Amino acid sequence: MSLLRRRKVPENERTQVPDPNPDGNQKDKKIIDKKIEIQKSQKQQSKWNCVDSCCWFIGCICVVWWVLLFLYNMMPSSFPQYMTEVITGPMPDPPGVKLQKEGLKAKHPVVFVPGIVTGGLELWEGHQCADGLFRKRLWGGTFGEVYKRPLCWVEHMSLDNETGLDPPGIRVRPVSGLVAADYFAPGYFVWAVLIANLARIGYEEKTMYMASYDWRLSFQNTEVRDQALSRIKSNIELMVATNGGNKAVIIPHSMGVLYFLHFMKWVEAPAPMGGGGGPDWCAKHIKTVVNIGGPFLGVPKAVSGLFSAEARDIAVARAIAPGVLDKDLFHIQTLQHIMKMTRTWDSTMSMIPKGGDTIWGGLDWAPEEGYVLSKRRQRNNGTSEDEATESKVKHVNYGRIISFGKDVAKAHSSEIERIDFRDAVKGSNVANHTCRDVWTEYHDMGFGGIKAVAEYKTYTAAEILDLLQFVAPKMMERGSAHFSYGIADNLEDPKYQHYKYWSNPLETTLPNAPDMEIFSMYGVGVPTERAYVYRLAPAAECYIPFQIDTSADDDDEDSCLKDGVFTIDGDETVPVLSAGFMSAKGWRGKTRFNPSGIPTYIREYDHAPPSSLLEGRGTQSGAHVDIMGNFALIEDIMRIAAGAKGEELGGDLVYSDIFKWSEKIELPL
């Protein structure tokens, strides 16, 4: 614009005024020259003022930006690594390179089974508001849509409240292929590091398979709706056949562990409920199951997640800006939406702690009692003050997964007055019309119900189930058709042929495959949620009536109570007990859960946080997802994939007290 203006004005004047005084003398010219300059400067000043400085400013920024971008692009790709090495000393070779030098070659085909939330989901059919998102990721990737149209996003991510399947008119499906879970969000790896290392010794698409499934559905429903289990079966068969009969190595992670447990039962069960693979399918096709961070017996986190939507899954909290989920920012509505959405996901119920009081402890007892946060460290340092510290330790009632009030959590069971909530009358509907769009089942409970829940004071693992039944009857009704949380008395009972028992290791037998091996690999050394102190939330409109009591805190440095959460050893999400018990005791040797005596191995990885920011998420991490980048774990997996047996790896590798704790659990085997 201004360019045009400048040009025009003088042009007009030129036409009006012909050149005066063509033979003017030198003096005149000099004066005139000066005059011109003054005028010009006046003009320039006035013109540069407003729009131009804006433009100038933008131009500056752009130029700087481009220059930086250019430099960044020109930078040799080894530069960051070089810098890191300068600062922190030489980095160890990635295991892929190391093992390639050792001469390891791809042998067994590898199947990855991703866990909850880490797999991508994409839209295939949606409502009007999701226009233009066809085959774009709703979950995973950049999560751009969460910010752009949050309500639409929540609507599309929710499942039907009654069936646990697609709501009408919406089809959200898992992304398939390795891209489904290699990176959860840009730069946040899940399987990518492992894939890259496997590729070094010769793996490629034809020998690797990502068994992605819709992790929102209950396990059997993934087969009903997407035939996901059939697909896994067919792919494993194909890979075994095309790789010269070498059996597959299965690597499930997190909830994928339970999913694959379900698969192993499903594939041998007769059609139509099962896959009809026959009783020796697993023996024929599976070499090893390498469970990474497996919540075999559930996670306490799932309880608080369902109860008050407050426990945050690592991946969610880290990858999505934490502010979005934070109730301080958007107030309680956000949490309510999240709660409403997650309660339609059947899969979350697969992770409710299983085995009741026998495993997780009663009011006054828990297998982990006597655990001191700092104890293990000390032992690792070589000092032997075990006895001394242990005597000092206060008794922590881990068995009480939920207690109302800090004092209740600490008191002896005889001192607690409990009023049974089960018969409490649910009061009139508290929900008013303004809350309708964020409806949760709490509004059906009424004040009476809420009060009754709080007055029962404390809940153990078995009672948690009753509690959830009480506060979320619809969800639990849906869920109990797909999952079970008990311990089988008699595994021969024909009722255990139903698929709802398949993902509970305490109610199924392992397949008849004595040559198979089962590994439990998990991180230890990270405080992990184990029990919660709750309080009643201050009444407000459309609120969730229960909250973790973040003020409950111990002054003692050694204490396990922090911000209302009792923590224990684990990998930040899954307590050691849940990840290790089956391999340490439940399946060790020939037991009734493991009739063919499949050998089991425990491989623990002690957590060491990255020493500097440059290392990213570290190569020695033991955290639930970050462990996928742990070099020791990757090396173990690669050796197994290249043909090694459990004994060749060195058998068990244990840092935690898992064997001690397992001994304390009285379970008929």
Partner 1 sequence: MGSILRFLKLCVLEPVKSGELYEKKAQIKLDNEKKSFEIPKIEKKDKGLSEEKKRKRRPNKEWRCIDSCCWAIGYICTIWWLLLFMFQCLPGLKVPEPPGTRLKREGLIALHPVVMVPGIVTGGLELWEGRPCSEGLFRRRLWGGSFTEIFRRPMCWLEHLSLDNETGLDPPGIRVRAVPGLVAADYFAPGYFVWAILIENLARIGYEGKNMYMAAYDWRLSFQNTEVRDQTLSRLKSKIELLYVTNGNKKVVVVPHSMGVIYFLHFLKWVEAPPPIGGGGGPGWCAKHIKSIMNIGPAFLGVPKAVGNILSAESKDVAFIRAMAPGLLDSEILGLQTLHHVMRVSRTWDSVISLIPKGGETIWGNLDWSPEEEHVCNSAKKMYQQDFDNNGNNSDSRRLFQVQEPTKYGRIISFGKIVSDLPSSQLQTLASREFMSNNSSSNSNAACKGLWTEYDEMSRENIRIIAENKAYTMKSLLDLLRVIAPKMMKRAEAHFSHGIAENLDDPKYNHYKYWSNPLETKLPDAPDMEIYCSYGVGIPTERSYVYKQSPSGRCNSIPFQIDSAADGSENGCLKGGVFFVDGDESIPVLSAGFMCAKGWRGKTRFNPSGISTYIREYKHKAPANLLEGRGSESGAHVDILGNAALIEDVLRVAAGASGSELGRDRIYSDIMKMSKKINIQL
Supply the residues annotated as catalytic: 254, 571, 624
Q: Tokens 């639930």 label which residue?
A: 624
Does 5 help bind partner 1 (rule: CB under 8 A)?
A: no
The Cα–Cα gap between 220 and 274 comes to 9
- Per CB under 8 A, the list member of 161, 167, 188, 237 interacting with partner 1 is 237
Q: Tokens 């004066």 label which residue?
A: 31
Q: Tokens 């004595």 label which residue?
A: 514
Torsion of CA 505, 509, 510, 514, to 10 degrees: 140
Say if residues 142 and 186 touch (Cβ distance below 8 Å). Answer: yes
Q: Judged by CB, which is closer to partner 1: 270, or 322?
A: 270
Q: Judged by CB, which is closer to partner 1: 198, or 452?
A: 198
Q: Give the binding range for partner 1 (CB under 8 A) out of 64-72, 322-330, 427-435, 585-593.
A: 64-72
The Cα–Cα gap between 532 and 160 comes to 30
Q: Judged by CB, which is closer to partner 1: 268, or 657?
A: 268
Does 328 help bind partner 1 (rule: CB under 8 A)?
A: no
Q: How many residues bind partner 1 (CB under 8 A)?
A: 72
Does 204 help bind partner 1 (rule: CB under 8 A)?
A: yes
Alpha-carbon distances, residue 540 vs 266, 451, 544 (angstroms)? 46, 15, 9
- Per CB under 8 A, the list member of 30, 34, 101, 148 interacting with partner 1 is 34
- Per CB under 8 A, the list member of 98, 226, 326, 411 interacting with partner 1 is 226
Q: Please name the residues in contact with 534: beta carbons below 8 A apart, sequence gap of 6 or more.
A: 307, 308, 402, 403, 404, 454, 546, 547, 548, 549, 564
The Cα–Cα gap between 582 and 479 comes to 23
Does 54 help bind partner 1 (rule: CB under 8 A)?
A: yes
Does 551 help bind partner 1 (rule: CB under 8 A)?
A: no
Does 42 help bind partner 1 (rule: CB under 8 A)?
A: yes
Nearest to 260 by CA among 224, 305, 292, 303: 292
Does 556 help bind partner 1 (rule: CB under 8 A)?
A: no
Q: Give the binding range for partner 1 (CB under 8 A) out of 53-61, 307-315, 478-486, 596-604.
A: 53-61
Does 227 help bind partner 1 (rule: CB under 8 A)?
A: yes
Q: Give the binding range for partner 1 (CB under 8 A) out of 40-48, 340-348, 364-372, 508-516.
A: 40-48
Nearest to 472 by CA among 298, 360, 356, 352: 352
Q: Judged by CB, which is closer to partner 1: 39, or 88?
A: 39
Q: Give the binding range for partner 1 (CB under 8 A) out of 38-46, 261-269, 413-421, 438-446.
A: 38-46
Q: Judged by CB, which is closer to partner 1: 206, or 395?
A: 206
Residue-level length of the chain: 669
Helix (H) or strand (E) holding 391: helix 386-392
Name which of residues 111 to 140 contact partner 1 (CB under 8 A).
Answer: 124-125, 134-135
- Per CB under 8 A, the list member of 30, 49, 69, 383 interacting with partner 1 is 69
Q: How far is the CB of 10 from partner 1 (least distance, A)?
A: 3
- Per CB under 8 A, the list member of 146, 154, 185, 196 interacting with partner 1 is 196
Does 174 help bind partner 1 (rule: CB under 8 A)?
A: yes
Take residue 368 and report the two structure tokens written for it. Answer: 């982990």
Three-class secondary structure of residue 384 per DSSP: coil
- Per CB under 8 A, the list member of 49, 163, 242, 428 interacting with partner 1 is 242
Kind of pairing between the strands at 402-404 and 561-562? unpaired
Alpha-carbon distances, residue 30 vs 7, 27, 52, 620 (angstroms)? 25, 5, 31, 78
Q: How far is the CB of 567 from partner 1 (least distance, A)?
A: 37
- Per CB under 8 A, the list member of 154, 165, 179, 324 interacting with partner 1 is 179
Does 59 help bind partner 1 (rule: CB under 8 A)?
A: yes
Q: Please name the residues in contact with 293: beta carbons below 8 A apart, sequence gap of 6 or more.
A: 115, 253, 254, 257, 521, 522, 523, 571, 573, 574, 579, 624, 627
Q: Judged by CB, which is closer to partner 1: 52, or 558?
A: 52
Does 40 help bind partner 1 (rule: CB under 8 A)?
A: yes
Q: How far is the CB of 85 from partner 1 (least distance, A)?
A: 16
Say if residues 474 and 444 touch (Cβ distance below 8 Å). Answer: no
The Cα–Cα gap between 371 and 658 comes to 11
Q: Judged by CB, which is closer to partner 1: 54, or 669?
A: 54
- Per CB under 8 A, the list member of 87, 91, 238, 419 interacting with partner 1 is 238
Does 176 help bind partner 1 (rule: CB under 8 A)?
A: yes
Say if residues 114 and 253 touch (Cβ distance below 8 Å). Answer: yes
Kind of pairing between the strands at 546-548 and 526-536? antiparallel
Q: Judged by CB, which is closer to partner 1: 32, or 151?
A: 32
The Cα–Cα gap between 119 and 139 comes to 8
Name which of residues 494 to 513 contact partner 1 (CB under 8 A).
Answer: none
Torsion of CA 553, 558, 560, 561, to 10 degrees: 0
Q: Give the binding range for partner 1 (CB under 8 A) out of 234-242, 489-497, 609-617, 637-645.
A: 234-242
Does 83 help bind partner 1 (rule: CB under 8 A)?
A: no
Does 46 help bind partner 1 (rule: CB under 8 A)?
A: no
Does 93 help bind partner 1 (rule: CB under 8 A)?
A: no
Three-class secondary structure of residue 456 per DSSP: coil
Three-class secondary structure of residue 522 per DSSP: strand
Q: Judged by CB, which is closer to partner 1: 257, or 267?
A: 267
Does 380 help bind partner 1 (rule: CB under 8 A)?
A: no
Q: How far is the CB of 599 from partner 1 (least distance, A)?
A: 31
Instruction: Show the binding pattern over residues 292-321: x = contacts partner 1 (CB under 8 A), - = does not.
Output: ------------------------------
Q: How far is the CB of 299 from partner 1 (least distance, A)?
A: 29
Say if residues 174 and 231 touch (Cβ distance below 8 Å). Answer: no
- Per CB under 8 A, the list member of 127, 206, 395, 436 interacting with partner 1 is 206
